[in-house]
Amino acid sequence: MAAMTQLDLSERSAGRAAQLADAGANHKLGRKRDLTRDPAILDAALEVLAETGYDGMTIDMVAARAKAGKATLYRRWPSKAELVFDAIACMKQGEIDFAQLPDTGTLRGDLVAMIKPPSIKDGEKKLRIMAGLVSMLAKHPDLAEAANTAIVEPRAKVNRLLMRRAMERGEISPDCDIETLALVTPSMVSYRVLILRKPINREYLISLIDSVILPACGLAQTRT
Amino acid sequence: MAAMTQLDLSERSAGRAAQLADAGANHKLGRKRDLTRDPAILDAALEVLAETGYDGMTIDMVAARAKAGKATLYRRWPSKAELVFDAIACMKQGEIDFAQLPDTGTLRGDLVAMIKPPSIKDGEKKLRIMAGLVSMLAKHPDLAEAANTAIVEPRAKVNRLLMRRAMERGEISPDCDIETLALVTPSMVSYRVLILRKPINREYLISLIDSVILPACGLAQTRT
DNA sequence: TATATACGGTACTGTTGAGTTTCGGATATA
DNA sequence: TATATCCGAAACTCAACAGTACCGTATATA
């Protein structure tokens, strides 16, 4: 096979994510596969990915981080590319619980209530992971889609929901372009972290809400 | 020397950008260095960078693209890392001429007048270059600063200037957060190109102006 | 025209890292 | 307890690529 410096998922196998469903079916003799190693390895892959990026990441680094043998990784994934793909696809950390979103009665209250230190920290880690993948997204739509689903879409979804609710109760005009406005914060936060290399903190997020989002929704700035 | 998969600019030399000033001083015998090769090589480096990213880019690719020998590149730059750094630092393509910015009398008119197909195309190429560098910016502040100066800051500067002018003539409120608002378009365009992998066109840019920027400045949406 | 030197091209070296193989030890099943 | 097999570790192969060395040619200067 030719050079594979970059990811090649053109003929991907089922993927670990899909295989998580079928548990047993292996009734021979001897020892079963240790299923507890999978998440440890995938977590290690995400950590290394965040620290070094895809190209800087080596299989040995991931194996060492997970205290696993390199052969163990290759017994489970056919290549580095597939390992990374599954690591992204299986990323469930920091998932937002849509059942208990804030409901303060005002859009500003809801948006501000979404700002929590653990959420910020989780977001920054996800963006560092994304930074290591950006250069590959162009050539691998599969990966781009998985990264979107796991990293960026959840945040946008929350904003869309909170804004739609504000629109339904008449707080903001029905002319507001929710689709676009829901991406303002994710976009500007990504830009700030990935390109400007500046930190994300509560002050910055609040300034985005008060200087951009709310005014764009036709709400006057009501700072405390 | 140890591994250098990634850029190491800890003890960079003067850099080609700084050397552009002194022309002659070489009065020996024989042939002088062919100065016309430099821009060709740097342009080739930018092209390859945009297509493959830093790690995917090889010196042979750049040499072939510039129709130059590999040795010629190493006669001018001590390493791949320095070549890339200078390619970014010397990037002057698509520089905005601040002397003749649009002045239509309204902020919307000025912002819309900035939308031109060549400008869009140039912006997308610059962002593709940026995509290939993102994973390195974290570890190399020098490069991050050069990339900012060459790629993102010029756009933000124009927006700041147009908005400041609108503020001075009383079109928008003095409370507007120009620093933040000037980054809305660059951020959202970057996000759309780098992460969402969607194209930039006139419609999208106008929707950003009408749905986000102008409302956030307190101006009612006045679509045609 | 004569000469020194920069050029493009190619062959080389050394290192890095993906993926494979091997092996002794651990462990769940029988 | 016996055994099949999965584990971690380490040694291995092989290809790619950064960087170097060298060669015949082109060309600007003297």
Write down the pLDDT at residue A9. 57
CB B62 within 8 A of CB B81: no
Q: Output the distance from B35 CA to C1 C1' rounded to whole Å.
A: 26
Q: Give the HSE-up count for residue B14: Cα atoms under 13 Å, Cβ half-sphere.
A: 8
Q: Taking the mean position of all CA atoms in its chain, how far away is CA A108?
A: 24
Write down the pLDDT at residue B11. 45
- pLDDT confidence band for B33 (50 / 70 / 90): confident
Write down the pLDDT at residue B9. 56
0.80 surpassed by pTM? yes
Per-residue pLDDT for chain A (224 aa), expressed as one digit of tens each?
A: 333 444 555 445 445 544 544 433 444 567 778 888 899 999 999 999 999 999 999 999 999 999 999 999 999 999 999 999 999 999 977 778 888 899 999 999 999 999 999 999 999 999 999 999 999 999 999 999 999 999 999 999 999 999 999 999 999 999 999 999 999 999 999 999 999 999 999 999 999 999 999 999 999 765 44
Q: Taking the mean position of all CA atoms in its chain, how far away is CA A150?
A: 4
**Cα B76 from Cα B63, distance rounded (Å):** 12
Query: Inter-chain contact A212–B131, Cβ cutoff 8 Å?
Result: no
Residues with CB under 7 A from strand D: A 2-3, 5, 26, 28-34, 37, 63-64, 66-72, 75; B 4, 27, 29-32, 56-60, 69-71, 74, 78-81
Cα angle B145-B148-B152, degrees, rounded to a multiple of 5: 175
Q: What is the mean pLDDT of residues B51-66?
A: 98
Chain segment B9-24, per-residue pLDDT in tens: 544 544 554 454 343 3
Within 8 A of B128 by CB-CB distance, chain A residues are 138
Write down the pLDDT at residue B221. 63
Nearest to B44 by CA among B19, B22, B61, B69: B61
- Closest-CA residue of A relative to B49 is A135
**Cα A200 from Cα A119, distance rounded (Å):** 11
Write down the pLDDT at residue B111. 98
Query: Inter-chain contact A56–B194, Cβ cutoff 8 Å?
Result: no
User: Which residue did the predictor score with more confidence, B121 or B93?
Assistant: B121
Write down the pLDDT at residue A108. 98
Write down the pLDDT at residue A25. 40
Query: Inter-chain contact B134–A212, Cβ cutoff 8 Å?
Result: no
Q: What per-residue string of b and e applies to A71-95 under the rule 16 or more CB within 10 Å gives b?
A: eebeebbebbbbbbbbbbbbbeeee
Question: Residue B3 pLDDT > 90, yes or no?
Answer: no
**Cα B171 from Cα B160, distance rounded (Å):** 14
Q: Which helix (H) or strand (E) holds B130?
A: helix B117-137
Q: What is the mean pLDDT of residues B151-169?
A: 96
Write down the pLDDT at residue A8. 53
Question: Residue B128 pLDDT > 80, yes or no?
Answer: yes
Q: What is the ipTM of this complex?
A: 0.89
Nearest to B70 by CA among B118, B94, B37, B102: B37
Write down the pLDDT at residue A184. 98
> For the ranges A12-21, B55-64, B104-113, B174-183, which has the lowest average pLDDT?
A12-21
- Closest-CA residue of A relative to B207 is A180
Write down the pLDDT at residue A29. 66
Alpha-carbon torsion, ordered A135, A141, A144, A145, to 10 deg:
180
Write down the pLDDT at residue B14. 44
CA distance B82 to chain A (A): 19
CB B160 within 8 A of CB B178: yes
CA distance A195 to chain B (A): 7
Q: Please, what are the domains in chain B?
A: 31-94 (1.10.10.60), 96-216 (1.10.357.10)
